Amino acid sequence: MVTTRAQSLQLSTAASADSATELSRETLVQAFRTMYLARCLDDREVMLKRQNRIFFQISGAGHEAVQVAAGLVLRPGYDWVLPYYRDRALVLTLGMTAEEMLLAAVGAARDPNSGGRQMPSHWSHPRLHIVTSSSPTGTQFVHAVGCAEAKAFLNPGSDEITLVCSGEGATSEGEFWESMNIACLERLPLLVLVEDNGYAISVPVERQTAGGNIAKLLEGFPGLLRLEVDGTNFIESFRALKHAADYCRGGHGPALVHASVIRPYSHSLSDDERLYKPKAERELEAARDPLLTFPDFLVRQGYAERQAIERMMRETDLEVAEITQRVLEEPGPPRGSAFIHLYSEKIDPASPEFDAQPRFTGEPRTMIDSINQTLAEEMRRDHRVVVFGEDVADCSREQYLSEVKGKGGVFKATANLQREFGASRCFNTPIAEASIVGRAVGLAARGLKPVPEIQFFDYIWPAMMQIRDEVATFRWRSNGGFSCPMVMRVPIGGYLTGGAIYHSQCGEVVFTHIPGLRVVFPSNALDACGLLRTAIRCDDPVMFLEHKKLYREPYNRAPHPGADYTVPFGKAKTVKLGQDLTIVTYGALVQKSLQAALQVEQRGSASVEVIDLRSLSPYDWEAVSASVKKTSRVLIAHEDTLSWGFGAELAARVAGELFTDLDAPVGRVGALDTWVAYNPQLEDEILPQVADLVRESERLLAF
Residue 24: count of CB within 10 angstroms of its CB: 11
Q: Where are the alpha helices (DSSP H) in 78-134?
A: 88-94, 98-106
DSSP 270-336: T--GGGTS-HHHHHHHHHT-HHHHHHHHHHHTTSS-HHHHHHHHHHHHHHHHHHHHHHTT---PPTT
- The sign of the CA dihedral 426, 428, 433, 438 is negative
Strands 487-492 and 542-547: parallel
Contact 131, 151 (CB under 8 A): no
Q: Spot the catalytic one: 125, 267, 503, 638.
A: 503
Largest CA distance in the chain: 100
3-state per-residue secondary structure call for 197-266? CCEECCEEHHHCCHHHCHHHHCCCCCCCEEEEEECCCHHHHHHHHHHHHHHHHCCCCCEEEEEECCCCCC
Q: Is 361 exposed, middle or buried (0-12, 13-18, 19+ CB in 10 A)?
A: exposed
Q: Interhelix angle for 64-73 vs 234-249, to 10°?
A: 30
Rounded-to-10 torsion of CA 438, 86, 255, 6: -130
d(CA 559, CA 545): 21
Is 503 assigned a catalytic role?
A: yes
Residue 262: count of CB within 10 angstroms of its CB: 23
Amino acid of residue 225? L
477 alpha carbon, distance to own chain's centre: 12
**Which of 364, 411, 369, 366 minimizes the C-alpha distance to 390?**
411
Amino acid of residue 650? L
Q: Which residues are catalytic?
A: 503
